[in-house]
């Protein structure tokens, strides 16, 4: 089986999708699939020119992302070559996302994007929540739910017993991620036994500037530390393992790779119902809340008042749940069966 995986942004700064798609490509290759990874805008320019030769060598195109002009070009190139096409919106059609640049997206939706989604062979969603949102948009194409797979490290968090505990925010710096509200809630909780560390690429400079100003205004420079983005796998692992809880107060997530990365090391999670991780509350692996500053403050107060034993228990539950349901090889088998299903569907 020969598969082309295409993504319009492919760099560590792109966040979770970069990790997920890179690992998907690698593990599909390990399962003896022939994989062509189309990684960036320059390659797409070449791809457009040489699509005849490229499509002669593949059976199926799996495109990650929507909205870009290249998405339009690549889709019709694949259609012309009579290749099977799967599209993964990667959260770009979530309700919160659809409200951003609303007029521009509405024009694109009616001009070409809805037509593309209705005329591909399958749409891939990473969660049941994302599938529901796609159905709400009256998309007629069949939808298959397969989560991103997670490479489970042999290393896990074992020791939560220390005087000064650490909460970790490890995600893009963007209004969508709720970082400004987190700073405000951190100030209100005012637990001197905890510090908050922030890592992540900056997607919005003005928003990042506002966050830094708020930290200074609230006199939190000793309690909240901001670091440069960290892409080195070993150093990233050390940062996650040194934390005692992971916080992502996001306003919209179709999956949330940073959440599963934290869970994979046995770190308990605090996040919102705007992510597809409400089940963590049932599994006693985290605290989930409806997004508001008040609810964030209450949830933050709960998790920072937990004992080391309770934090360890929640982290262990999350890791066990992840191994059972999201381990990369299990997910890759689902992808392969999905690709076979698409190719056999005449």
* Model pLDDT, residue 53: 74
Q: To which residue do tokens 């990874």 refer?
A: 37
Cβ contacts of 18 within 8 Å, gap of 6 or more:
9, 10, 11, 12
pLDDT band at 314 (very low <50, low <70, confident <90, very high): very high
Flag whether pLDDT at 337 surpasses 80. yes
CATH numeric code, 2-149+327-344: 3.40.50.2000
Flag whether pLDDT at 9 surpasses 70. no
pLDDT one-digit tens code per residue, 62-97: 999 888 777 777 888 888 889 999 999 999 999 999
- Residue 200, sorted as left (phi over 0), alpha (psi -120 to 50) or beta, turns out to be left
Range name among 45-54, 96-105, 221-230 with the lowest pLDDT average: 45-54
Alpha carbons 304 and 300: distance in angstroms, whole number: 6
Q: Give the global pTM.
A: 0.87
Alpha carbons 292 and 346: distance in angstroms, whole number: 48
Domain boundaries along the sequence of the chain: 2-149+327-344, 165-326
Find out whether 183 and 173 touch, Cβ atoms under 8 Å: no
* Model pLDDT, residue 160: 84
* Model pLDDT, residue 38: 75
pLDDT one-digit tens code per residue, 266-293: 999 999 999 999 999 999 999 999 999 9
Alpha carbons 275 and 252: distance in angstroms, whole number: 6
* Model pLDDT, residue 16: 67
Flag whether pLDDT at 239 surpasses 70. yes
pLDDT one-digit tens code per residue, 117-150: 999 999 999 999 999 999 999 999 999 999 999 9
Alpha carbons 30 and 28: distance in angstroms, whole number: 5
Q: Helices 41-49 and 69-80 sit at what angle, rounded to 10 degrees?
A: 30
For residue 253, which of 215, 288, 284, 219 has the smallest C-alpha distance?
Answer: 288
* Model pLDDT, residue 39: 66
pLDDT band at 153 (very low <50, low <70, confident <90, very high): confident
Please provide the average confidence, as pLDDT, over all residues in the chain.
90
Asked if the domains at 2-149+327-344 and 165-326 fall in one CATH topology, the answer is yes
For residue 124, which of 291, 311, 338 has the smallest C-alpha distance?
Answer: 338
* Model pLDDT, residue 40: 56
Instruction: Output the CA angle 338-340-346, nearest 5 degrees.
Output: 110
**By percentage, how much of the chain surpasses pLDDT 70?**
93
Flag whether pLDDT at 189 surpasses 90. yes
* Model pLDDT, residue 44: 44
Flag whether pLDDT at 52 surpasses 80. no
Average pLDDT over residues 3-15: 68
Tokens of 62: 């799996």
* Model pLDDT, residue 300: 97
Alpha carbons 44 and 56: distance in angstroms, whole number: 16
For domain 165-326, the CATH class is alpha beta
Flag whether pLDDT at 6 surpasses 60. yes
């Amino acid at each position: 089986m020969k598969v082309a995986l295409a993504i319009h942004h492919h760099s560590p700064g792109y966040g979770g999708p970069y990790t997920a798609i890179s690992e998907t490509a690698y593990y599909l290759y390990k399962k003896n699939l022939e994989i062509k990874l189309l990684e960036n805008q320059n390659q797409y320019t070449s791809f457009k020119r040489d699509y005849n030769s490229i499509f002669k060598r593949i059976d199926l195109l799996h495109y990650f992302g929507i909205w870009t002009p290249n998405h339009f070009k690549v889709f019709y190139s694949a259609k012309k070559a009579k290749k099977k096409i799967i599209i993964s919106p990667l959260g770009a059609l979530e309700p919160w996302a659809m409200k951003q640049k609303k007029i521009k997206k509405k024009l694109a939706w009616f001009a070409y994007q809805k037509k593309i989604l209705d005329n591909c062979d399958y749409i891939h969603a990473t969660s049941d929540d994302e599938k529901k949102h796609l159905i709400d948009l009256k998309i007629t194409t069949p939808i298959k739910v397969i989560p991103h797979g997670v490479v489970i490290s042999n290393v896990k968090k074992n020791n939560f017993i220390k005087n000064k505990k650490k909460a970790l925010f490890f995600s893009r710096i963007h209004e969508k991620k709720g970082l400004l509200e987190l700073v405000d809630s951190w100030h209100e909780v005012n637990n001197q036994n905890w510090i908050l560390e922030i890592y992540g690429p900056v997607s919005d400079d003005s928003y990042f500037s506002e966050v830094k100003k708020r930290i200074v205004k609230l006199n939190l420079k000793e309690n909240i530390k901001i670091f440069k983005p960290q892409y080195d796998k070993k150093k990233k692992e050390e940062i996650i393992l040194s934390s005692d809880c992971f916080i992502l107060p996001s306003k919209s997530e179709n999956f949330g790779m940073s959440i599963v990365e934290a869970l994979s090391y046995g770190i308990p999670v605090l996040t919102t119902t705007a992510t597809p991780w409400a089940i963590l509350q049932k599994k006693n692996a985290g605290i989930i809340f409806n997004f508001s500053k008040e609810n964030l403050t209450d949830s933050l107060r709960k998790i920072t008042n937990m004992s080391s034993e309770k934090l360890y228990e929640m982290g262990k539950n999350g890791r066990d749940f992840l191994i059972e349901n999201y381990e990369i090889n299990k997910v890759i088998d689902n992808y392969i069966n999905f690709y076979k299903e698409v190719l056999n569907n005449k």
